[in-house]
Amino acid sequence: MAADSREKTAPHPRREPRYDGPLTPQRLEEIFQDCVDFTRRPVALEGESACTLTLCYLGGMVRMERVSDYVLRPLAQDQGLRQCRTAAEAMKRMESGALYNLGVARRTQLDRGVFDLVEGWCLLFFPGESEALSFFVGTEEKRSISAPANETVLKGARDSFVESVRTNTSIVRRHLKAPELRIREERVGRQSATLVDVLYLEGLTNPQLAEELLEQLRDIDIDGVFATGNIEEYIVPAARTPFPLVQYTERSDRFCAGLTQGRVGLLIDGIPLGYLTPAVLGNFLQTPQDKSSGWLLATTLTLLRYLCMLLTLFLPALYVAIVTFHQEMIPTRLALSIIAAKENVPFRSGFEVIVLLLAFEILQEAGLRLPQSIGQTVSIIGGLVVGSAAVEAKIVSPAVLIVVAIAGIAGYTMPSQELSGALRLWRFLLALLAGAAGLFGAVMGGAALIVHLAGLESFGVPYLTPFAVSAGKEAREHVFLRRPLPQVKDRPPALHPLNRRKQR
């Protein structure tokens, strides 16, 4: 049955162009039939070449004031247009600047004209011609630029990305005024036709990175791009890992800093995020505040994040392994305290840890999905009331509750939510291995994690860079120690930038 159903599935052929035939108002009416927002308006052109033009646009996609002031008013008042003897001469004069619109283009293909209407352009047709003049009169309505909602800004720019890709590129231009900034564009999605911009600095960024990303975007053949996964899961080279291979950010300053390092940026129309590639493990453990704080404080906080990463991964597994298989490793007083707390608890330590980890994930998911005010209430009630009641009822021991709470809170220190999610998945696996084989299982799970990370690459850059790459003195990057900024002379060598030096 499965084979038969696969054979009956229709293919997904790529049609280019989508619409064939001449570019005429009649063909546009056929394409946009049953569309209440499609408007076809006659426009009288007076003078020696008196004729009736046809204006087509989609209501709601254009700003009516622009249509009236930049297209219709010049048609009625321009004396040069009245003196044109033929419609072709009038069309050439409009294309060369008789109308007041900034963006004008001659369209001869029906497919291009259809997409112009959808993007907020209006088409002006001349009688007897199978071509049109296209004027941009879009509304450009967008959410106002505000501070990032999910990335705390202590000392830094507060202009976060919005849903308009052209607004986002303008924000980048304001931070990076270098003429070498290149912005190349691709359309992804047959139905959505989403604009995706690739940004990099020419003469600095390795051009192979930009070309590889552009090729992967051209190979994407899907219906629409409405979520981040519609792009992320197609451009990352490995899809069998929970660890993020593409870094995203709301902050424009962080995005521009990544471009100056030699990385390639990605902006998607409709998604208020900027993506940076390649991305390695160290990128997800750094924050923009590391460059705004003193190097001693930044180094201490970085070391704290790495310590919290180890805690959230291995603390539940080590507790299960030691309490279940290796009690001789526990100090006597602590062992007596744990035994007294577990005296009336009917479950094994491994089962307690797994159940509490599951409860922790359920509470976190409930807090995220509910409205903000209710979500905070649910988290407090679940964490305090239910946890305390479970301990008093002798269902779980206090030590297990403390271990799981420390591991959960340590995971919240991760700057990247995607990295935090990957660590939570591996935390479950390590706890299960420790419950089955003790410290041997936990060690083997940690070794498997290292092997897994060592096998990942992000656009040709090893995921454990610079830990897994021996570059001698060149590998002096911000990993654990954030050196004083005047001493950081070079860009990361793993990116192979064309210009290694970043300051004198």
Three-class HEC string of 30-69: HHCCCCCCEEEEEEEECCCCCEEEEEEEEECCECHHHHHH
Residue pair 290/482 in contact (Cβ under 8 Å)? The answer is yes
pLDDT at 369 over 80: no
Lowest mean pLDDT among 146-150, 217-221, 422-426: 146-150
Helix ranges restricted to H, 127-178: 165-175
Name the residue among 311, 314, 339 with its Cα closest to residue 324: 339
Alpha carbon of 468 to those of 262, 299, 379, 383, 394: distances in Å? 20, 21, 40, 40, 47
Residue pair 272/160 in contact (Cβ under 8 Å)? The answer is yes
Residue pair 62/139 in contact (Cβ under 8 Å)? The answer is yes
Q: For residue 444, what pLDDT is reported?
A: 95
State the pLDDT confidence band at 326, using cuts at 50, 70 and 90: confident
Residue pair 309/423 in contact (Cβ under 8 Å)? The answer is yes
Distance CA 141, CA 31 (A): 25
Q: For residue 192, what pLDDT is reported?
A: 84
Mean pLDDT across 471-481: 57
**pLDDT digits over 435-455, tens only?**
999 999 999 999 999 999 998
Please identify which residue in the block is written with the tokens 């030590």. Answer: 399
DSSP 185-239: EEEE-TTT-EEEEEEEETTTS-HHHHHHHHHHHHH---S---STHHHHHHHSS--
Percentage of the chain lying above the pLDDT 90 cut: 33
Q: For residue 468, what pLDDT is reported?
A: 73
CA dihedral 286, 287, 291, 296 (to 10 degrees): -60
Residue pair 139/61 in contact (Cβ under 8 Å)? The answer is yes
Sign, CA dihedral 306-311-312-314, equals positive
pLDDT at 7 over 90: no
Mean pLDDT across 409-423: 91
Alpha carbon of 248 to those of 167, 191, 227, 240, 496: distances in Å? 17, 25, 13, 19, 21
pLDDT at 473 over 50: no
If you ran DSSP here, which 8-state letter would residue 277 be given? E
> Which strand ranges, in their side-by-side order, compose the sheet holding 264-268?
181-188, 194-201, 264-268, 274-277, 247-249
pLDDT at 470 over 60: no
pLDDT at 9 over 60: no
Residue pair 259/189 in contact (Cβ under 8 Å)? The answer is no
**pLDDT digits over 260-302, tens only?**
999 999 999 989 999 999 999 988 998 888 888 888 888 899 8
Please identify which residue in the block is written with the tokens 């001493």. Answer: 487
Distance CA 148, CA 145 (A): 9
Q: For residue 472, what pLDDT is reported?
A: 47
**pLDDT digits over 206-251, tens only?**
999 999 999 999 888 888 888 888 888 888 865 678 999 999 999 9
Residue 487's DSSP bridge partners are: none
| Mean pLDDT estimate for the chain | 84
Q: For residue 272, what pLDDT is reported?
A: 92
Distance CA 156, CA 254 (A): 9
Instruction: Name every residue whose Cβ is closer than 8 Å to that of residue 444 and which is 6 or more positions away in sequence.
Output: 433, 437
Q: For residue 1, what pLDDT is reported?
A: 43
pLDDT at 417 over 80: yes
